[in-house]
Amino acid sequence: MLMHATPRSVRLAIHIPLVLACTFLLFPAVAITETENSLPSGLVVVIRNNSDRALDLRALDNPTISGVAFQIHWADIESVQGKPDWSKLDQLFNAAESSKRWVQLLVFPGFFSPGWALEGAETEPFPIQYGPGKGTIMKLPMPWDTVYLNRWFAFLKQLSDRYGKSPAFRVVAANGPTSVSAEMTLPDTPEDVETWLKVSYTPRKYIEAWQKVLQVFHADFANQYICLIVGSGLNINDQGKIDPHERARTRKEVIDQAIAVLGRRFVLQNSDLHAGPKQHPVTDFVMSYSGRVITGLEMRCTAELGTCSTALGAEGDPSLALKKSIAKGMQPNNEGERVNYLEIYEGDVLADEMQSVLRDGASLFK
């Protein structure tokens, strides 16, 4: 296992509301010690599972890479209830253990739950809001639906039983009340908001669903750090009215309860890092937490693909785009603290012309 010295930046935020501090006392995080499972750190390669292709793990051989973030749909693992196909995850963990790389596992439920998991659950049709399949109408389980969540929790127990003691398994993304990825996001166009109003969405129901999920992840993955990937709630308040301030309030409450439940095992991540002109404020928001909790950032896209170099800050120059985006992600915050890890997509990790950029990026973590 790669071992990293504990950065002085990793200190748990101490200003937790009293009610959340009391919650934390009910769920002490004691399983992990830095001698057993070092902190997630360094450059991380993002690999997306493709159900039509064999798993390609060549990127784990890159010496600049410390870890791998593996994204896979729940439906691609457990298409039949109670009969999961672990073949790709077995391959991933075997390769990670052999190459001494650490693993962040991101299993996507929501839109990508198996059909059997949605039977009898409350669902609504929504368009996929971003990523592969964008615009495709699919059934989305309601974030608070107990039928759906209980089936998801049963799968998580199987997952933790099989891989929870792997020395490579360092981070798992907490999700469930989610949609298209592990991000804390829901479809939110004006038309989508009308649908949420019809199904009686409230931030309280959403926040309570997250609390259940965080408690389950805390219990099932005692040997892992648990990552919350930032998004927000919807602009609907508990009175069923449109309220533009509700998004940020909901996001803060979920983060506060995650800190309270998970303690020093809590990781906060944003998955939209880029050096382009249209900066999303959430990137700086996550960076501001560095030094209080473990933090990480994922690139917005693959610099080598299409117009992504423009989005990353250097039109037509993928290497410069990636270099500028890494520099953006490694800027210290107002307290002089930096994020613990940066995630870069597989295409850029494998590209020959990116190797000097990756070497320079990896050196920032030493």
Q: What are phi and psi of 329, to 5 degrees?
A: -70, -25
Give the separation between CA 268 and CA 282, rounded to whole angstroms.
11
What pLDDT score was predicted for residue 31?
54
Strand partners, 123: 141
C-beta separation of 321 from 354 below 8 A: no
The crossing angle, in degrees rounded to 10, of helices 146-163 and 203-220 is 20
Confidence of residue 21 (pLDDT cuts 50, 70, 90): very low
Alpha carbon distance 79, 115 (integer Å): 8
Does 95 map to a domain? yes
Q: Following DSSP, what letter does each residue of 259-304 receive, concatenated?
A: HHHHGGGEEEEEEEE--SSS--HHHHHHHHTBTTBEEEEEESS-TT
Q: Is residue 239 part of a domain?
A: yes
Residue 118 placed within a domain: yes
Token pair 């299409």: residue: 306
In a domain, 13, yes or no: no
Taking only the tens place, the pLDDT of each residue in 308-362 is 999 999 999 999 999 999 999 999 999 999 999 999 999 999 999 999 999 999 9
Q: What integer best gives the mean pLDDT of the chain?
A: 91
Q: Is residue 11 part of a domain?
A: no
DSSP label at residue 352? G
User: What tokens does 78 get?
Assistant: 């457990």
CATH number at residue 176: 3.20.20.80
**Is 57 part of any domain?**
yes
Residue 44 exposed, middle or buried by CB count within 10 Å (0-12, 13-18, 19+):
buried
Angle formed by the axes of helices 281-288 and 318-329, nearest 10°: 40
Domain membership flag for residue 9: no
pLDDT tens-digit readout, 101-143: 999 999 999 999 999 999 999 999 999 999 999 999 999 999 9
Q: What is the pLDDT of residue 32?
A: 57
The verdict on residue 10 lying in a domain is no
Which tokens go with 357? 């950029």
- Kindly report the length of the chain: 366
The domain in which residue 181 lies consists of: 18-363
Number of domains in the chain: 1
Residue 334 backbone class (left: φ over 0; alpha: ψ -120 to 50; beta: rest): alpha
Q: How many CB atoms lie within 10 A of CB 310?
A: 16
334 burial level (CB within 10 Å; 0-12, 13-18, 19+): exposed
Alpha helices (H) in the chain, listed in sequence order: 18-26, 74-77, 87-99, 115-118, 146-163, 190-198, 203-220, 246-262, 281-288, 308-312, 318-329, 346-350, 355-363
